[in-house]
Amino acid sequence: MALTSSPFRIRALLIGPAAAVIGIFVVIPLLLMAWISIQGRDYSGGVLWGELTADAYLRMIFERELDDTLAVNFSYILIILRSVWLSLLTTTVALIVGFPTALFMATRTPKWRAILVFMVTLPFWTNLLVRNYAWILLLRDHGTINGTLSWLGIISEPLPLLHTQFAVAVGLTYSFLPFMVLPIYASLEKIDLKLVESAFDLYANRWKTLKRVVFPLTKPGIVAGCILVFVPSLGSYVTPQLLGGGKTLMIGNLIGLQFGAARNWPFGAALGILLLALVMISLTYYTLKMKKTDSEKSGDDKE
């Protein structure tokens, strides 16, 4: 009996510390946030414990009129849609820029690969706040970009670049571009170049080789890069706050306002649950996509 229970005890001792950390610092806070999201709001600030209600979730779509009827409120819907739109735009631009960059890195010599990987990861050595302030200096009315365009005679008045969705998209793309480049580079580095040479031997041009050989083999890296860019972009707080100037709110900024100035903790918690749901949907899509890719590979191997 002792012998049969020994492996279980060993596994429990090995998994126990990690499970305790996850339970204390992840599961319990999430459960607390979900519990707060269905509580009533104390208008003097705080939560009315024990008053179960779904008002926080209804407020995402509706608002109560003076006669207590519900009317559709598009304010929060637009913020949610803007967050998803900017995250998708950031992911798309990062993929368009990141794939050629990763392909260029993967086709260099080992010495240059190490240098280029170092250069891609170099922005991580600087605080995100400092990097966003640098973009403020570049995008403001009398900043580097407008100053250069004015000096060249292209514009006569400064372009309104700062505090726009464009500025937020640029800041998000710059901040999370390495998360796209590195997974794609890791996939490209594993490709056997003999497959590319075989495609050229079979009279395939560069585009067909890229489409039929390189893209399918790097699909796991592309999907992983898209997830790694989309998820943090969706919950970004610093970049929309600085480059959007309060005019381009995203879900992260709205959550901060509800827990701060508005003191509406249930609504802030409900928005946090919504953000978690969007992230879980993205991760579920990634998992299903990877399983489909693995099943296709196993089917091809059997054939």
Q: Which residues pair with 70 in a beta bridge?
A: 64
Strand pairing category for 47-48 and 40-41: antiparallel
> Are 84 and 278 contacting, i.e. CB atoms less than 8 angstroms apart?
yes
Of 116-130, 182-196, 207-221, 289-303, the poorest mean pLDDT is in 289-303
What is the pTM assigned to this prediction? 0.85
Tokens of 285: 């899509």
Q: Is 177 left (phi over 0), alpha (psi -120 to 50) or beta?
A: alpha
Q: Which residues pair with 64 in a beta bridge?
A: 70
CATH 1.10.3720.10 describes domain 84-296: yes
Higher pLDDT, 172 or 1: 172
What pLDDT band is residue 104 in, cutting at 50, 70 and 90? very high
Residue range 38-86, pLDDT digits in tens: 998 887 777 888 888 888 898 888 887 777 777 888 889 999 999 999 9
Domain ranges of the chain: 84-296
Tokens of 34: 């979900």
Inter-CA distances, 260 with 78, 79, 119, 235, Å: 21, 18, 38, 17
